Chain A
Amino acid sequence: MADWPLRDKICMVGIGTTAYGSFPETDSYGLGAEALGKAVADAGLTYDDIDGLIVNRIPSYDRFAEIVGLNPRFTLLTETPGRFSAISLMIAAQVLAAGEASTIALVYGNNGRSQRMMYGGGAGTWAPWGMTSPGAIHAMMYRRHMHLYGSTSEQLAHIAVAFRKHAGLNPNAVMRKPITIAEHQASRFICEPLHLFDYCLVNDGAVAWIMTTAERAKDLRRPPVYLSGFARQDTLVESSTPDPELWYPALQRVAAQVYDRAGIARDAVDGLMIYDNFTPTVVFSLEGMGFCPRGQGGEFVRDGTLELGRGRLPTNTSGGHHSESYMQGWALIAEAVRQLRRDECGERQIPDCDVVQYICATNCATSIIFRR
């Protein structure tokens, strides 16, 4: 079979991130503009080089372009859920491959914390029964997983503990104080069976990436990080209720494509960035990609498997959504790039890092394989 036409053709060449926290003096436009400025400088480019713009979580693409003074050939505002970080990246890669833009800036800005954003409440199909919030859907799915496979809440604690440990090595992480399994178990229930420490951290902040073709990437300031492969499979039928298969078939389809497309085997992955809005997605992601058999994700994450310096698969080395900040996948992908550059992660550097895989288990399941 011929190689996937996009393999290693598109690169991440600039990364910009703001501080994460509560910044009521600015907003998602201000934060986004700051991150974009950093990403442009990181790439060694000027704003005149940017002819494509994808904006996410910032309310208006035209207002943002007006603010930063851009008249791109291609501009797009993508949907607000975090699954659209990887989707935005894939769209940018396809636009670049088609020649409809040569250098695309992707900008995510969120001021959810200072706006007291609540994920839940409001109208919806199930509001009359009090069913609301993404966390409750994950709680419902994980209860099912516990029933089918005997997994436990304590297994999820190992995920939260590992990511908090990593956050302690990341000066930009919001929550850096180590936690224990017992502290996770003692934290209050938000939506049972999920505890407080199974939930991500809503903050203000922004992330920007600059993407271009491998051809153009060669001469830029920083070494390029290549998109070796990506794949996506949606599960939208009967999606008003939790997927009875816990997204496993979709993730398996993604797994069947992404390694082939990249020409990189699963065993060659040095580190993982897993979309961790709630800890159960880590279990679903590891099973779906085949790192462990179906149903054994809970057992698999025990005893430090995901911990830097300890386990085989260092995961969310920045602290992820649980401990760095919930930047809806955007900061996890920035961390993938930084790991592959090998000179920006300090104490949290994965040794000899050649390949990092991003995985997002949602009703739009995605995965991306990055290499240096």
Chain B
Amino acid sequence: MASPTAYRKPLPTIDVWNKPFWDACREHRFIAQKDNRSGHVWFPPGPVCPTNRSSDWRWVDLSGRGTVWSWVVFHQKYYDGFESEMPYNVATVELDEGPRIMTNIVNTTNDKLRIGMRVGVTFRDVDDRIAIPLFQPIAEGGT
């Protein structure tokens, strides 16, 4: 069972399609669905590939790398669990495999965020069931 924790941020809403994703996060693996014929990779998880509507897909490990598409900084409190980190950032990251996700960029400061910066996944363990994928700057050439 989960140990007592001070974690107060919203937890993911787990459904039948995203459960494998969150199960993998717990093991610090970053995965997505990939269509077996077209090779299309998508997120959030769903029952069929949105480009060819096929259910012939599999879960694949992603590189965990991507590029910041845009970002914002929240100054208004919507969740008590984020209060201590305000103002906090949220970025849209375009993953190298194609899908775009939203996440927090950690291990940097908001004034260093730039569109086009390269980031890689890292995990924050919430309890023994949930780990949240976050992204941090990585040292490599930008694209």
Identity of the chain A residue whose Cβ is nearest the Cβ of B13 in the assembled complex: A123
CB pair B70–A128 under 8 Å, yes or no, is: no
* Interface size band for A: 20 to 34
The CA-CA distance from A190 to B82 in the complex, in Å, is 14
Chain B residues packing against A (C-beta within 8 Å): 9-13, 42-44, 50, 69-76, 78-79, 81-82, 87-88, 90, 92, 99-104, 115, 132, 134
Q: How far is the CA of A244 from the CA of B12 in the complex (A)?
A: 25
**Cβ contacts under 8 Å, A133 to chain B:** 76, 78
- Contact yes or no, A140 B72, CB < 8 A: yes
Task: For chain A, residues 111 to 125, give those with C-beta under 8 angstroms from any C-beta of chain B.
Answer: 118, 120-121, 123-125
On chain B, the residues within 8 Å of A128 by CB distance are 9-12, 132
Cβ–Cβ < 8 Å partners of B102 in chain A: 125-126, 129, 131, 241
Interfacial chain A residues near B43, Cβ < 8 Å: 240
| In the bound complex, CA of A130 to CA of B73 (Å) | 10
Q: Which residues of A contact B76 (CB under 8 A)?
A: 120, 133, 190-191
Nearest-CB residue, chain B, relative to A130: B82
Contact of A143 among B10, B72, B103 (CB under 8 A): B72
Q: How many angstroms between the C-alpha atoms of A125 and B132 in the bound complex?
A: 12
- Assuming A128-B9, A189-B73, A190-B75, what are 7 further A-B pairs, CB within 8 angstroms? A124-B13, A129-B104, A131-B90, A140-B71, A143-B115, A189-B87, A242-B69
- List of B residues within 8 angstroms of A191 by Cβ: 72-76
**Are A242's CB and B75's CB within 8 A?**
no
| Interface membership of chain A positions 147-164, coded 1 if the CB is closer than 8 angstroms to chain B and 0 otherwise | 100000000000000000
> Smallest CB–CB gap between B29 and chain A, Å?
17
CB neighbours of B10 from chain A (8 A): 123, 127-128, 130
**What separation, in Å, do the CA atoms of A140 and B73 have in the docked complex?**
9
Q: Output the residue of B9, B88, B90 with the most chain A CB within 10 A.
A: B90
Among candidates B44, B78, B90, residue contacting A240 with C-beta atoms closer than 8 Å: B44
Q: Which residues of B contact A132 (CB under 8 A)?
A: 78-79
Contact of B78 among A130, A188, A193, A242 (CB under 8 A): A130
Bound-state CA distance A130–B78 (Å) is 8
Q: Once A and B bind, how many residue pairs between them come within 8 Å at the CB atom?
A: 96
In whole Å, how far is B107's beta carbon from the nearest beta carbon of chain A?
15
Q: A132-B78, A132-B79, A136-B90 are in contact. Are A143 and B44 (CB under 8 A)?
A: no
Q: Are the CB atoms of A141 and B70 closer together than 8 Å?
A: yes
- Tell me whether A192 and B72 are in contact (CB under 8 A): yes
Q: How far is the CB of A279 from chain B (nearest CB, A)?
A: 15
B92 touches A125 (CB 8 A): no
Residues of A within 8 A of B (CB): 118, 120-121, 123-133, 136, 139-141, 143-144, 147, 188-193, 237-238, 240-242, 244
16 CB contacts below 8 A, A to B, read A121-B78, A127-B10, A127-B79, A128-B11, A129-B90, A130-B82, A139-B72, A140-B90, A147-B115, A189-B87, A190-B76, A191-B75, A192-B75, A237-B50, A242-B70, A242-B92
In the bound complex, how far is the Cα of B78 from the Cα of A118, in angstroms? 9
B134 to chain A, nearest CB (A): 8
The minimal Cβ–Cβ distance linking B79 to chain A, given in whole angstroms, is 6
| Chain A residues, CB < 8 A from B70 | 140-141, 143-144, 147, 242
Closest to B76 in A: A190
Contact A130 B79, CB 8 Å, known A143-B115, A242-B70:
yes
- A121 CA / B80 CA spacing, docked (Å): 10
Determine whether the beta carbon of A129 is less than 8 Å from that of B72: no
Question: Which of A120, A192, A241 is in CB contact (< 8 Å) with B100?
Answer: A241
Taking a contact as CB atoms closer than 8 A, the residue among A130, A147, A238, A240 that contacts B74 in the complex is A130
Most buried by B among A127, A129, A237: A129
Say yes or no: B101 contacts A241, CB within 8 Å: yes
Query: Top 8 nearest A-B pairs by Cβ distance?
Result: A127-B10, A192-B73, A144-B70, A189-B75, A121-B78, A241-B100, A139-B72, A131-B90
CA distance A141 to B92 in the complex (A): 10
Evaluate contact between A244 and B9: CB separation under 8 angstroms: no
Q: Which residue of B lies closest to A145 (CB)?
A: B70
Closest-by-CB residue of B relative to A132 is B78
Contact A244 B100 (CB under 8 A): yes
Q: Which residue of B lies closest to A127 (CB)?
A: B10
> Smallest CB–CB gap between A84 and chain B, Å?
24
